[in-house]
Amino acid sequence: MTRRVLLGLVVVAGLLTAALLPAPAAVTDPVFPEPEPGEAVAGTGASVWYCATGDSDDVRDSEMYIATVPAVRVGITWPSPFGADDADVARQALDAAGAGTIAVSDFLRRGPVPSLIEFDAGPAAAAVSSVIAGEQGLEEISGDGCRAAVSKEWHIAGGTTRDGATLVLRLFNPFPDIAKVALSGASEFGSQPFGDPIDVDGRSFRDVDLSVEARFLDDLSITMTVTEGQVVPALILDEGADRAVWSATGLSRTWDFPFVGTGDLVGSVVVYNPGPGAVTLEIDGLGPDGVESAATTFGLDPLRPLRVLAADISDIATGLRVRSTGPVTAALVVEGLVPADPEAVPVEGEEIELVRDGRLGAVSGVPFPSARWLLPGAGARPSTIHVANTEATPATVTLVALGSSLDPEKVLVPAGSTAAIPVPGSGGGYLVESDLPVSVAWSVESGNAFALFEAVAIDE
């Protein structure tokens, strides 16, 4: 009997133990941080940059701009529409603090030449331009920075299919698998449908002529939803003379524009709210007097792009910051406007009739400031680096010419202001370092040609 009791106690104790044993902690899959979709950020490791634009034909030539902080080996691949085996590849090595310019025509001429550029170390970045050289300098230049990350949803503002404008959306799929992209858009009339999703073959591109798909719209902003695969989109605006090329972005609540035009280069900021709710925009002016906070305030309905002349926001602003209560995208379109009669004398109370002189440039906004920037291509020919300091204290900015023997140049950018720093054509890129986070872009102007380029923030 005693044995039975003891046994019973052992069993009961065991049962209690079994009942009270804690369940092991549930195992959950880790979530590895993915790169910010769609942003052009130069990391410290190897990277691949996708350049959707670029043309190499009997008229235009493309220049690939590469810039790096450490010594790198670079591989440039131009996928062929005829299959992966026929891709053209160029390889190059750059020393530390190096930069280079590669003329695509040295390798191939087949019209549109989207490409991908692989660096085996970083920070490094790439940009691409298309140029038409004339006897009096450049007749045309357009270009933009490349993208180091892709997104399933892209947005791009600032397009127009007004009379005389050709607007092409280039969808570059650098990956092996087919991509399916659903387009939706918005114009001054509201939502703009675009039919069935578009297939983009792997390692290929597809140009969508929006001038045909959505004719005679003053403002056309696009949202691209990638349902399969991945693409890198860019807009190409051609008004008969110069071209503007700018890349799609993600959404942000702030957008900085270190440059909004000068003189007869008139800039318009276009803000696009893909929805779903209305947002309120506050646009700060950056100028010699510091920040003009909320210089202009707008309510922005979804799917109603807002285009506003920079000069209408502030007469003296040389840069802008767009702040929004919701995620939006924003771009700057710059046109050259000159008096119709060059010899006309301004008369008070009368407006001088302005006409486009053909210069055209566009760039997406800078979503966040950074203390270090890479500017591939800046200085490949005489350029201007635009720095916006949105902080409350002056920023000391150092410009380091990459691939050049030029000494670094220090510039003090006042608080809430911008600086336009001309740089000579001596290298192939710049490294901009600041003691405070700043926003940077750069531009090229030569003859009748004008282009705006994004700078690439360096991921710290």
Residues contributing to the site for another protein (CB under 8 A): 3-4, 7-8, 10-11, 14-15, 17-18, 21-24, 27-32, 34-35, 43, 45-48, 84, 116, 118, 120, 149-150, 174-177, 202, 229-230
Within the chain, what is the greatest distance between any pair of CA atoms?
Answer: 123
Of 175 and 255, nearer to another protein (C-beta) is 175
**Rounded to the nearest whole angstrom, what is the least distance from the CB of residue 82 to another protein in the complex?**
17
Alpha-carbon separation of residue 246 from 26, 202, 266, 333, 349 (angstroms) = 47, 22, 17, 9, 37
> Nearest Cα to 52, choosing from 330, 247, 222, 251?
247
**Rounded to the nearest whole angstrom, what is the least distance from the CB of residue 77 to another protein in the complex?**
8
306-309 and 319-339 strand pairing: unpaired
**Rounded to the nearest whole angstrom, what is the least distance from the CB of residue 23 to another protein in the complex?**
6
**Rounded to the nearest whole angstrom, what is the least distance from the CB of residue 86 to another protein in the complex?**
14
What phi and psi, each to the nearest 5 degrees, are found at residue 67?
Answer: -140, 145
> Nearest Cα to 445, choosing from 334, 308, 321, 285?
334
Dihedral of the alpha carbons of 189, 193, 194, 195, in degrees to the nearest 10: -150
**Rounded to the nearest whole angstrom, what is the least distance from the CB of residue 265 to another protein in the complex?**
37
Of 3 and 407, nearer to another protein (C-beta) is 3
Of 30 and 349, nearer to another protein (C-beta) is 30
Residue reference for tokens 């925009």: 281
Of 175 and 373, nearer to another protein (C-beta) is 175
Of 197 and 339, nearer to another protein (C-beta) is 197
Token pair belonging to 331: 């771009």
**Rounded to the nearest whole angstrom, what is the least distance from the CB of residue 176 to another protein in the complex?**
4
Of 220 and 226, nearer to another protein (C-beta) is 226
Side chain identity at residue 19, one-letter code: A
**Rounded to the nearest whole angstrom, what is the least distance from the CB of residue 177 to another protein in the complex?**
4
Of 49 and 373, nearer to another protein (C-beta) is 49
**Rounded to the nearest whole angstrom, what is the least distance from the CB of residue 94 to another protein in the complex?**
17
CA distance 320 to 269: 9
55-56 and 111-112 strand pairing: antiparallel
**Rounded to the nearest whole angstrom, what is the least distance from the CB of residue 113 to another protein in the complex?**
17
**Rounded to the nearest whole angstrom, what is the least distance from the CB of residue 16 to another protein in the complex?**
10
**Rounded to the nearest whole angstrom, what is the least distance from the CB of residue 30 to another protein in the complex?**
4
What phi and psi, each to the nearest 5 degrees, are found at residue 163?
Answer: -55, 130
Of 174 and 416, nearer to another protein (C-beta) is 174
CA 444 to chain centroid, in Å, comes to 16
Of 61 and 118, nearer to another protein (C-beta) is 118
